[in-house]
Every structure is written in structure tokens, then in C-alpha cells.
Amino acid sequence: MLVTIEPKAPRPSWLRAPAPVGDNYRDLKELVETLKLHTVCESAACPNIGDCWNRRTATFMILGNVCTRRCGFCAVQKGGPLPVDYDEPRRVAEACAALGLKFAVITSVNRDDRKDGGAELFALVIRAIREKVEGCGVEVLVPDFQGSHGAMDIVLEASPDVLNHNTETVPRLYRQVRMGARYERSLDMLAYAKKTRPEIPTKSGLMLGLGETIEEVLKVMQDLRGSNVDILTLGQYLRPSPKHLPIIRYVTVEEFAELKKRGYEMGFQHVESGPLVRSSFHAADAVA
């Protein structure tokens, strides 16, 4: 049974994250600024930035910080895309080396202005990290590349350790939540990646609290397993600003625990399910 909590009420205690302070946080912020890099932690206003940066982990966002799509949930800046910076892979690898990373997560804005959707830069970053930081695993959180299998091939040829693409929400809410995206296209891209490179774990995630029902979430989970997705993340949607989609309800800790249990029963190899879970949450643990 769903438990509805009035969103106008104070944020539940289970949604409180550590404040972004501390020496490691300041060091990482300085490193990112010095190397002129972007992180989804900052650009998407992630609530876990204090916790993750104090553990010296970050999700790097390539291809600029301006997105060509206008999704209703996302805090990343929208507008005309920035020029592609071909020195960016080197700087991302340098940051990974400076942090001593054993596992790096790379994502990007949508680049619908480019024929390959930015796939080339993903591949260059993967290879640059491998050359610079021996033994560092790499997860890529890619856009849908407008359904281009050729673009996906470019990324897969660079052999990421995890291929992630988020479905984000249930099909009924796509027009409000993921403008410019299509649910079936996302499933197809995940299925294609697994069919093409079955040895590479695939991953996807959803935000909850946007008005979906638990039954709809379970159906998406089943669809993801039908596309042979290995790793699942489920987290609470948090409104970045009054201009973004409202929170319809707060999903309880107990509901997240039940969804995690159901995910394992469906056959997912690893499930992260909780209010503060995001795509890169404990990313290395999923392939440990």
C-alpha cells in the first residue's frame, strides 16, 4: 500500500544528507575548478555532494554543462551547446590520477546537435583514464544518442566497465519528465548494448515520487530485466528549484527496501534502492 506524505510538509528525516564541507570537499572543488571540469554533482545539484566529495569521489560530466534537452526534473543548464573540448579527456584523466581513483564515473549532457550524440568523447575519456590511471574502472552514464546503435558501438568499443543509461521514470510520465526521450528507445539501447557486448554489465535507474505508482515501477523493472539490465538504482526525486517538476510524494524507506527485495527476486545482480540513491551511488560496489 502506498503511503502518501504531503510534499509541503518538512522534508522527512531520512532525506537529510551531510553538508558539503570539509578538507576533502574543498580540495576536490579546487581540483575541478583548476582543471576546468564539470561534475554532475554540482550541475545537477546532487544532495550527496558533501558525502561523496568528502570520500574523494565525483561523477565527471563531459561535453560542457549546457544540455540540448529540457527535462522537467534536471537542474543542468539548458540552451545552445558549447563547443566540444578535445582536451577534456586528458584533464578528466588527470583529475582521476590526482584523486587516486580506483573507479571513475563519467556522464554528459545530451548533445543532440552532434551526429554521434557525443559518443566519441566518451570513448576518448575512457581510453585516457585507462592510459593515465592503471587499474581504474570506468562506468559511463550515457544519453540515448537518439537511438543510434552506431553511437553506442563507439562507446562499447572503448570497453567501459559498466554501461549505464537511465530510464528515469515510468512511460506514462515521459512527456512531463523526459522531453525528447522515448521509453522504448531507452530499453532498445540497453538491450542492444548487452547483446553487442554481453560481458559488460548494463545499468539503469529511476527517480520516484513524480506521481508514478509502485505497480508502474515494478513493470519498468520487469522491462529492464527483459532487456537484460544487470544493475538497478532507485532513488527519491528532489526538486532542484520551484521551476522544476513538483514532488508528488516522498517514498518511504520501507517501500525502497521492498523494491530492492523485488529487484533481486527479478534477477538483477545488484540493486541500490533508497531515498538518497543516485545513478553513481556506490557505483564501484556493483561490480566489486
Q: Is the pLDDT of residue 260 over 60?
A: yes
Q: Which residue, among 194, 7, 214, 277, has the nearest Cα to 285 in the 3D structure?
A: 277
Task: Match 549505464 to its residue by C-alpha cell.
Answer: 164
Q: Under CATH, to which class is 19-287 assigned?
A: alpha beta
pLDDT at 149: 98
Q: Average pLDDT, stretch 232-261?
A: 91
> Dihedral sign, CA of 14, 167, 29, 133?
positive
Q: Is the pLDDT of residue 28 over 80?
A: no
Query: pLDDT band at 55, cuts 50/70/90?
Result: low
The H-or-E segment that residue 164 falls in is strand 162-164
- Cβ contact 98:31 at 8 Å: yes
- Cβ contact 248:211 at 8 Å: yes
Question: Mutual orientation of helices 119-132 and 149-157 as an angle, nearest 10°?
Answer: 10
Q: Is the pLDDT of residue 104 over 60?
A: yes
Q: Which residues of 18-35 are buried (b: 16+ CB within 10 A; e: fewer)?
A: eebeeebbeebbebbeeb
Domain boundaries of the chain, sorted by first residue: 19-287
- Cβ contact 235:275 at 8 Å: yes
Distances (CA, A) of 127 to 131, 136, 148, 155, 157: 6, 11, 21, 10, 10
- Cβ contact 168:73 at 8 Å: yes
Q: Average pLDDT, stretch 85-109?
A: 90
pLDDT tens for residues 184-238?
999 999 999 999 999 999 999 999 999 999 999 999 999 999 999 999 999 999 8
Q: Is the pLDDT of residue 43 over 50?
A: no
